Amino acid sequence: MDKSRHAQLAPVESPVVYAGFWLRVVAALVDSLAMFIPFCIVAFIVTVIVKLVSTTRGYEPATVILTVLPPVVIVATWLYFAMMESSSWQATLGRPWQERRRSAG
């Protein structure tokens, strides 16, 4: 029996090519722009609700907005990245702009 037919070659791994600094900056800007419009809408809605509630209860609206808005932004950012990276894309909207390849071959 010929052993050369049964021998399997180990797969040859291609070198990994990473995106450069400026491509990562562009990806971050695309992600920021993708989050900006929804965040503006959420911030507007939160501001209106807080002002309506503050006037009826006598709270200072600016203090309540500065207390409520940061956690809302943190949760919205977390949801954006969690939902995008667990989707079928497995990436945020900015990652395709990086034009990165996992292998050179």
In-domain check, residue 14 = no
Per-residue pLDDT of the chain in tens (105 residues, 90 and over written 9): 555 555 566 677 777 777 788 888 888 898 899 889 888 998 898 888 888 888 788 888 888 888 888 898 899 889 988 998 898 878 888 877 665 544 344
In-domain check, residue 8 = no
Q: What is the dihedral of CA 31, 90, 82, 79, to 10 degrees?
A: 50
d(CA 98, CA 25): 9
d(CA 44, CA 39): 8
In-domain check, residue 12 = no
In-domain check, residue 9 = no
In-domain check, residue 6 = no
Length of the chain: 105
d(CA 62, CA 71): 15
In-domain check, residue 29 = yes
In-domain check, residue 100 = no
